[in-house]
C-alpha cells in the first residue's frame, strides 16, 4: 500500500489522538507494503480471472486495512480488508467502477432511471426519492443533508459497500476513523457459503462497524461489540491496553479451523451469484388486501426455467452489470449488448443479436397486430403483476428492508410504492415513445419555495424547527385507515408556521399527494399542482410471467381493449405518509398520455368485433368468389377464342 492510499483509504491520519502511535503504525504499514502492496498500485496488473469455467478454489491470505497479514492468533485481531485481501488478484478499483458502486461518480452516465433510494421519515411525513445519479425527479443526497456518512448509515444496509462508503467526507458528525471505511464486500454477491449471513451486514452498519461488516457476514470468525458505543477518539488499531479503555468496542475472533496450515482462509465463492444473493437487495413484495401471500406467488419465468439473474445480467471485472434495457447497447457503445435485451434474446433484433441464446424460445405472437410492438415495451404485456383496477402497493428490499424484522415492516409501512403503473416512456434505443410498466412513488417532503423552485429540507431540519409539533402520538384505533400514525393536517399547518418563523426568507411548503401545500392565513392550507409534487416512476422488467399469462395472449384483446380495463383505466392513488384526506386517484391513461374517449370508443368496437369479423369475412369471401368465378369465365372465354382460331387453321 502506498502512502497516498493510506491517506485516502486507511485509517491513519494526523488528527489521531496518539500521534506517536500513528506515526509508528504508518511507518510499519509502509514497511509491510513492500511485500503486501496491491499489485495494481505498483503498476502490475493483478493476475486476472482464470479462463477456465471450472471453480477456482479461493484460499486467501487475509490482510487488514493496514496490509497486515491476518492469522487467528494475530494481536490485535483485525477484520479482513476486501480491498487488500481480494484485491491481490482482482483489481479492486476496476471492480469498484461497477454499477453497484459508482453512483457518486459524476463522470458516470446515469443510464435509464431506476429505483432510487427512498428517504423515509415518518415523523415528518417524508418519502423522498434520492440518488447520486441525476435521474429526473430524484434529489441528490446532499440536497437533504445526507453526507456520505449519513447516507451509509441510512442506506448501507442494502449497499454492497464501496461508493459512498469510501468517499471523502467532511461531515463533522462522521466517525470514519472509528467505523473504518465501508469497503466493497465481494462476498455480498459472490459468497457460495450457505451460512453467509447478509443480515449481519445490516447489524454491522447500524453499529457503525463498517470495517468489520464483511467479516461479520462470514463464518470465518465473529465480531462482537459496537463502534457506535465508543468515543470519537477510539482507535481500532490501538494497543490492547489502550483499547481496553473503550468498553464494548468491536472485537474479532477468527475460527482457526477455517485457516489452512499456510495461514490461508478458505472462501466458498462463486463466480456467478445465485439468485438468492440478488434477492437480498432486489426482492419486491406486494402488500395490501388483495396481495397474494408469498407462497401464492411465482418467481420470474426465467428463474423457473432454470436460468439465474446473472445469466442475463452479465459483467466482466468492471462489474458494469448489463441492465438489458433497449438502448443500453447504444448508450454504452457496445452493440453486442443488444443480444441481452428481450428482443435481442428472443427475436434476434439488433445487429449483433442472435435469438435463442440459452434456449430462449422465439415467440410467434399469433394474431397480434405488429403495431403493438411499436406502442408497447415487451414488459408491458409480459412483466410485473397483471394490472388491476387499482395499482397495488409493493414493498422492495431497498425501500422497506423487507429482509429484516422490525417496526419498519407491515403492509402500511411507508414509503408507498404503487405497481404496476403503465407509463409512457422514451425508448432509449431509437427515441420512440412506448408504454411500459413502472413502479411509482409520490414524493412527500418539506421544502422552501423560491420562485418556482422547491428546495427540499432535511427531515432533521424540520424536526429542529417543529420538534414538539411533530411528536408522534399513538393514534386512537380507527383514526386512520392505514393503521399507522400519519402526519395530520394540523401538524402540517403548525409546522409550516414554525418553519416560517424560523426563516422568513423562502416560503415553507409541504409537498405531498401530488400537490404543494402552503399556508393561507393562520388556519388554512392551500394546495396546488407543482412539478416538484409529480411522481417519480421507474420501469420494471421482473417478474416476467409465462407467455400464456401475458396480456392479450391467445386473442384476449379485451385484456386491454375493454371499457374500464385496468391497463388504461386502472387507478393510481397518490399515497404519502400524511393525512391529506382521501388521496387523489389518477387513471393509467393519464400516465400513458392517451385520450380516454378514444380508448372507450375503441374498446366499444371490440364488443362488436365478432360481428364485424363475421360480416367482413363474408364480404371478403363473396368478393373472392366473384373474382375467382369471373377469372375462370375469362379463362374459358380465352380458351374458346383460341379454340375457334385454331379450328380455322
Could you write out the DSSP letters of every residue in 473-516? -PPPTTSSTTSSPPBPHHHHHHHHHHHHHH-SSSEEEEEETTEE
Which of 609, 632, 642, 643 contacts another protein by CB under 8 A? 609
533 closest CA partner among 405, 445, 630: 445
* Residue closer to another protein (CB basis): 375 or 448: 375
* Residue closer to another protein (CB basis): 54 or 370: 370
What is the closest distance, in whole angstroms, from the C-beta atom of residue 302 to another protein in the complex? Answer: 21
CA atoms within 13 A on the CB side of 63: 20
What is the closest distance, in whole angstroms, from the C-beta atom of residue 339 to another protein in the complex? Answer: 19
Which of 39, 61, 317, 368 contacts another protein by CB under 8 A? 368
* Site for another protein, residues 616 to 645, rule: CB under 8 A: 616-617, 619-620, 622-624, 626-627, 630, 633-634, 637-638, 640-641
Q: Which stretch binds another protein (CB under 8 A): 60-68, 352-360, 496-504, 611-619?
A: 611-619
Beta strands of 521-600 (E only): which ranges?
524-528, 536-539, 571-573, 585-587
* Residue closer to another protein (CB basis): 373 or 404: 373
* Site for another protein, residues 372 to 391, rule: CB under 8 A: 373-375
* Residue closer to another protein (CB basis): 93 or 640: 640
Nine cell digits for residue 384: 410485473
What is the closest distance, in whole angstroms, from the C-beta atom of residue 36 to another protein in the complex? Answer: 59
* Residue closer to another protein (CB basis): 224 or 609: 609
What is the closest distance, in whole angstroms, from the C-beta atom of residue 618 to another protein in the complex? Answer: 9
* Residue closer to another protein (CB basis): 76 or 348: 348
* Residue closer to another protein (CB basis): 60 or 368: 368
Which of 555, 564, 642, 643 contacts another protein by CB under 8 A? 555
Here the contacts of 344-348 (C-beta below 8 Å, separation 24 or greater) are 345/312
Per the CB < 8 A criterion, the answer to whether 408 and 400 are in contact is yes
What is the closest distance, in whole angstroms, from the C-beta atom of residue 380 to another protein in the complex? Answer: 15
Which of 271, 272, 450, 613 contacts another protein by CB under 8 A? 613
* Site for another protein, residues 213 to 232, rule: CB under 8 A: none
* Residue closer to another protein (CB basis): 358 or 638: 638
In three-state secondary structure terms, 434 is strand
Number of chain positions touching another protein (CB under 8 A)? 39
The sign one gets for the Cα dihedral 255, 256, 262, 268 is negative
Number of other CB atoms surrounding residue 388 within 10 Å: 15
Per the CB < 8 A criterion, the answer to whether 391 and 570 are in contact is yes
Q: Which stretch binds another protein (CB under 8 A): 76-84, 251-259, 578-586, 610-618?
A: 610-618
Nine cell digits for residue 368: 397480434
Here the contacts of 165-170 (C-beta below 8 Å, separation 24 or greater) are 165/210, 166/9, 166/96, 167/104, 168/8
| 364 counts as binding another protein under rule CB under 8 A | yes
What is the closest distance, in whole angstroms, from the C-beta atom of residue 368 to another protein in the complex? Answer: 7
* Residue closer to another protein (CB basis): 204 or 378: 378
Which of 14, 371, 474, 505 contacts another protein by CB under 8 A? 371
Q: Taking the chain, what is the end-to-end CA distance rounded to the nearest angstrom?
A: 108
Q: Which stretch binds another protein (CB under 8 A): 326-334, 441-449, 534-542, 598-606?
A: 598-606
| 602 counts as binding another protein under rule CB under 8 A | yes
Q: How far is CA 380 from CA 225, 442, 560, in A?
A: 49, 21, 11
199 closest CA partner among 377, 417, 401, 486: 401
| 370 counts as binding another protein under rule CB under 8 A | yes
What is the closest distance, in whole angstroms, from the C-beta atom of residue 182 to another protein in the complex? Answer: 49
567 closest CA partner among 548, 552, 589: 589
Nine cell digits for residue 637: 372465354
* Residue closer to another protein (CB basis): 253 or 556: 556
**Helix runs in 377-458, H state only:** 378-382, 397-400
* Residue closer to another protein (CB basis): 450 or 633: 633
Q: How far apart are CA 547 and CA 554, in angstroms?
A: 10
**Going by C-beta distance under 8 Å and a sequence separation of 6 or more, which residues neighbour residue 400?**
285, 408, 409, 413, 415
Which of 351, 554, 590, 642 contacts another protein by CB under 8 A? 554
> For cell 454477491, what's the residue?
189
Q: How far apart are CA 166 and CA 177, in angstroms?
A: 12
Q: How far apart are CA 610 and CA 56, in angstroms?
A: 62
What is the closest distance, in whole angstroms, from the C-beta atom of residue 541 to another protein in the complex? Answer: 21
What is the closest distance, in whole angstroms, from the C-beta atom of residue 547 to another protein in the complex? Answer: 13
* Site for another protein, residues 578 to 597, rule: CB under 8 A: 595
* Residue closer to another protein (CB basis): 270 or 368: 368
Q: How far apart are CA 396 and CA 412, in angstroms?
A: 13
Q: What single DSSP character describes residue 553?
A: G
Cis peptide before 52 (omega within 30 of 0): no
> Rule CB under 8 A: which residues touch another protein?
363-371, 373-375, 554-555, 595, 598, 601-602, 605, 609, 612-613, 615-617, 619-620, 622-624, 626-627, 630, 633-634, 637-638, 640-641
Amino acid at each position: 500500500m502506498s502512502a497516498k492510499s493510506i491517506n485516502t483509504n486507511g485509517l491513519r491520519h494526523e488528527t489521531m489522538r496518539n500521534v506517536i502511535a500513528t506515526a509508528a503504525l504508518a511507518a510499519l504499514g509502509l514497511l509491510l507494503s513492500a511485500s503486501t502492496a496491491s499489485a495494481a498500485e505498483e503498476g502490475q496488473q493483478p493476475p486476472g480471472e482464470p479462463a477456465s469455467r471450472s471453480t477456482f478454489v479461493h484460499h486467501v491470505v487475509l490482510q487488514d486495512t493496514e496490509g497486515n497479514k491476518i492469522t487467528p492468533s494475530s494481536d490485535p485481531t483485525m477484520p479482513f480488508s476486501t480491498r487488500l485481501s481480494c484485491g491481490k488478484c482482482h483489481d479492486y478499483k476496476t471492480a469498484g467502477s461497477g454499477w453497484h458502486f459508482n453512483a457518486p461518480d459524476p463522470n458516470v452516465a446515469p443510464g435509464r432511471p431506476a429505483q432510487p433510494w427512498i428517504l423515509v421519515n415518518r415523523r415528518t411525513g417524508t418519502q423522498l426519492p434520492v440518488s447520486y445519479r441525476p435521474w429526473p425527479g430524484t434529489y441528490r443526497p446532499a440536497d437533504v443533508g445526507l453526507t456520505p456518512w449519513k447516507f451509509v448509515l441510512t442506506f448501507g444496509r442494502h449497499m454492497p459497500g464501496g461508493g459512498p462508503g469510501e468517499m471523502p467526507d467532511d461531515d463533522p458528525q462522521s466517525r470514519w476513523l472509528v467505523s473504518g471505511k465501508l469497503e466493497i464486500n465481494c462476498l455480498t454477491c459472490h459468497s457460495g457459503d450457505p451460512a453467509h449471513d447478509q443480515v449481519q451486514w445490516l447489524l454491522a452498519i447500524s453499529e457503525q462497524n463498517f470495517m468489520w461488516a464483511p467479516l461479520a457476514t462470514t463464518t470465518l470468525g465473529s465480531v462482537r461489540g459496537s463502534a457506535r458505543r465508543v468515543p470519537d477518539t477510539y482507535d481500532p488499531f490501538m494497543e490492547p491496553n489502550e483499547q481496553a479503555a473503550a468498553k464494548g468496542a468491536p472485537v474479532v475472533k477468527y475460527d482457526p479451523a477455517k485457516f489452512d496450515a499456510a495461514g490461508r482462509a478458505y472462501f466458498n465463492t462463486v463466480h456467478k451469484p445465485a439468485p438468492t444473493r440478488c434477492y437480498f437487495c432486489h426482492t419486491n413484495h406486494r402488500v395490501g388486501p388483495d396481495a397474494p401471500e408469498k407462497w401464492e406467488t411465482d418467481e420470474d419465468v426465467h428463474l423457473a426455467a432454470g436460468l439465474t439473474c446473472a445469466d442475463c445480467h452479465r459483467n466482466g471485472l468492471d462489474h458494469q452489470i448489463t441492465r438489458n434495457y433497449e438502448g443500453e447497447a447504444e448508450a454504452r457503445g457496445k452493440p453486442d449488448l443488444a443480444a441481452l435485451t428481450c428482443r435481442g434474446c428472443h427475436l434476434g433484433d439488433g445487429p449483433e443479436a442472435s435469438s435463442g441464446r440459452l434456449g430462449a424460445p422465439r415467440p410467434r405472437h399469433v394474431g397480434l397486430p405488429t403495431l403493438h410492438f411499436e406502442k408497447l415495451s415487451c414488459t408491458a404485456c409480459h412483466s410485473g403483476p397483471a394490472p388491476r383496477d387499482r395499482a397495488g402497493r409493493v414493498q422492495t428490499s431497498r425501500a422497506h428492508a423487507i429482509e429484516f424484522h422490525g417496526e419498519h415492516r407491515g403492509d402500511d409501512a411507508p414509503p408507498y410504492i404503487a405497481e404496476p403503473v403503465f407509463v409512457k416512456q422514451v425508448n432509449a434505443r431509437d427515441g420512440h415513445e412506448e408504454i411500459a410498466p413502472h413502479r411509482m412513488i409520490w414524493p412527500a417532503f418539506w421544502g422552501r419555495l423560491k420562485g418556482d423552485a422547491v428546495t427540499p429540507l432535511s427531515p432533521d431540519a424540520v424536526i429542529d424547527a417543529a420538534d414538539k409539533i411533530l411528536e408522534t402520538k399513538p393514534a386512537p384505533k380507527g383514526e386512520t385507515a392505514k393503521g399507522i400514525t400519519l402526519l395530520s393536517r394540523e401538524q402540517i399547518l403548525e409546522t409550516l408556521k414554525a418553519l416560517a418563523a424560523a426563516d422568513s426568507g423562502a416560503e415553507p411548503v409541504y409537498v405531498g399527494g401530488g400537490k404543494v401545500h402552503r399556508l393561507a392565513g393562520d388556519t388554512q392550507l392551500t394546495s396546488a399542482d407543482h412539478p416538484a409534487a409529480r411522481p417519480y416512476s421507474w420501469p420494471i422488467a421482473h417478474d416476467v410471467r409465462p407467455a400464456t399469462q401475458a396480456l392479450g395472449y391467445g386473442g384476449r384483446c379485451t385484456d386491454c381493449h375493454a371499457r374500464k380495463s385496468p391497463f388504461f383505466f386502472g387507478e393510481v392513488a397518490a399515497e404519502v405518509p400524511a393525512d391529506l384526506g382521501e388521496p387523489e386517484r389518477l387513471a393509467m391513461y393519464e400516465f400513458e398520455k392517451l385520450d380516454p374517449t378514444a380508448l372507450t370508443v375503441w374498446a366499444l368496437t371490440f364488443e362488436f368485433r365478432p360481428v364485424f369479423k363475421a360480416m367482413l369475412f363474408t364480404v371478403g369471401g363473396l368478393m373472392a368468389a366473384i373474382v375467382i368465378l369471373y377469372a375462370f369465365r375469362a379463362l374459358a372465354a380465352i380458351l374458346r377464342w383460341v379454340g375457334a382460331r385454331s379450328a380455322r387453321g
